[in-house]
Amino acid sequence: MMFNWLKRYVPRGIYGRAALILIFPVVLLQLVVSFGLIQRHFEGVTEQMTLATSREVQLVLDGIDARDTSPQALALLLETLKIDVSYPETAEVEDNRLWYDFSGIIITRNFKQLVQGVQAVQLIDDKIVRLWIESGDGVVQVVFDRGRVSASNSHQLLVNMVFFGGLLTLVAFLYMRNQLKPITRLAAAAEAFGRGRHVQYSPGGAVEVRAAGAAFVDMRNRIERQIEQRTLMLSGVSHDLRTPLTRLKLGLSLLEDEDREPLERDVEDMQRMLDAFLSYARGAYEEVPEDVDPAEMVMRLVDGHVRSGHDVVLHESKGEGHVSWRVMAVQRAVDNLIGNAVRYGTRAEVSVRITDKFVRIRVEDNGPGIAPEDRDEALKPFARLDSARNLNKGPGVGLGLSIAADVARVHGGVLRLDKSERLGGLCADMVFAR
């Protein structure tokens, strides 16, 4: 729980997380090792070299202060030690070094501790060291090569670590990408199948990924076989049941009008219920997805209900674009929602909103609506909410909302029920991901 705040900074994709798992430990290990090595190695080397050079500087200072030292001997000493000595006119100086020169901190500290009278240590660049020292004859400026007090190319370790660390990380990432490709392919195939599309997929990758891929293929084949068997069964059932209904209609046509009318209504109710059962059992898997304009499709459905004498209007249509849907299934679902709206209310308003991420089809009515605690139940097959829906309105079988919810799920979407803020009845939203 204490690390929940880190979740917002963690990548969501498998590539990002794998890269983080790979790069973070490597970078952390390099930082720890580099700082430890720099502290132990370069600091120790710099201290040893500074100690030796400070003794040479002290030897030169002793020779300057000694009265019996001849100029020729002092010049020979300076030439041998490769140290330049001068007496500048100004002596108001202060320590100076480059901001990234960490070894300069050690050099400055050691010279002030080991050589008496050091006023300032100037490390203007990585080539020379300039010491300002108080002596018996005044302030002395001592200049010598920087390579005598610190290791040359001390930054080379960091350069090598960054270069080879980046190179190895790139190689590891390329290898990791090849290992993750089968997982992303499996995820894409599973997502497509969840939205009703069949994508060619063959298992590959590591043993565990192959096992998961093979299990997915077997599962998909079983589901497709069941759908095919159900389709064949429904075709037979539809044919077998419609035949006796047709014979009943022919037989009823021979009766007297006063005896025939109620029986014909019963037969028509049976026909509608049979169509509803078959429509629900058929589902949305039989069709092949095709491109369609959602706004145009909804407009045709609204026009069809208007021609049938229903009070249905297209309230709003925003956005444009085409989507890949099982068109007949979506039309059947939206038509069920509009039919329910005009059946349990007197007016229905339909709106369409198309964005880059989703498509929303909303149907609102001014009917009694559905109570919040009954909305989940209303989405189940054969649900009959007597208190919310008036059964005198018609012979409903409780499949309209269930068919719409099933079609939405097949297309990777969802059906949401709520209260209409404008009309006061039910508001049904079919939301499809793009």
Q: Can you give the pLDDT at residue 349?
A: 93
CA 419 to chain centroid, in Å, comes to 33
Q: How far apart are CA 27 and CA 221, in angstroms?
A: 46
String of DSSP letters for 20-48: HHHHHHHHHHHHHHHHHHIIIIIHHHHHH
- Residue pointed to by tokens 């209900």: 305
3-state helix, strand, coil in the chain (%, to 5): 55, 15, 25
Identify the helix (H) or strand (E) that includes residue 187. Answer: helix 156-194
Q: Can you give the pLDDT at residue 22?
A: 75
Q: How far from each other are the two terminal CA atoms of the chain, in whole angstroms?
A: 34
Binned average pLDDT, 10 residues per bin, the chain of 434 residues: 64 73 77 71 81 90 78 85 85 79 85 89 86 84 88 67 80 80 87 76 84 90 79 70 76 70 74 67 64 91 89 89 86 88 89 91 90 83 56 54 83 87 90 85
Q: How far apart are CA 130 and CA 96, in angstroms?
A: 10
Q: How far apart are CA 379 and CA 116, in angstroms?
A: 92
Q: How far apart are CA 296 and CA 327, in angstroms?
A: 12
Q: How far apart are CA 111 and CA 114, in angstroms?
A: 5
Q: Give me Rg for the CA atoms of the chain.
A: 43
Determine contact, residues 80/102, Cβ cutoff 8 Å: no
Determine contact, residues 179/206, Cβ cutoff 8 Å: yes
CA-nearest of 110, 108, 115, 112 to 62 is 115
Taking the CB of residue 31, how many other CB atoms lie within 10 A of it? 11
Q: Which residues pair with 292 in a beta bridge?
A: 323
361, two tokens: 């089809």
Residues 6+ away with beta carbon under 8 Å from 341: 312, 348, 363, 364, 365, 367, 425, 426, 428
Determine contact, residues 402/186, Cβ cutoff 8 Å: no
CA 307 to chain centroid, in Å, comes to 47
Q: Helices in 308-422 by DSSP H: which ranges?
A: 327-344, 375-378, 400-410
Taking the CB of residue 257, how many other CB atoms lie within 10 A of it? 6
CATH number of 9-154: 3.30.450
Fold of domain 288-433: Heat Shock Protein 90 (3.30.565)
* CATH 3.30.450 in the chain, residue ranges: 9-154
Burial degree of 140 (CB within 10 A; 0-12, 13-18, 19+):
buried
Q: How far apart are CA 112 and CA 97, in angstroms?
A: 15
CB-based burial, 103-118: b 16+ in 10 Å, e otherwise: bbebbbebbbebbeeb
CA 61 to chain centroid, in Å, comes to 69
3-state secondary structure at position 254: coil
* CATH 3.30.565.10 in the chain, residue ranges: 288-433
CA 99, 104, 109 angle in degrees (round to 5)?
A: 125
CA-nearest of 243, 298, 311, 279 to 381 is 279
Determine contact, residues 144/83, Cβ cutoff 8 Å: yes
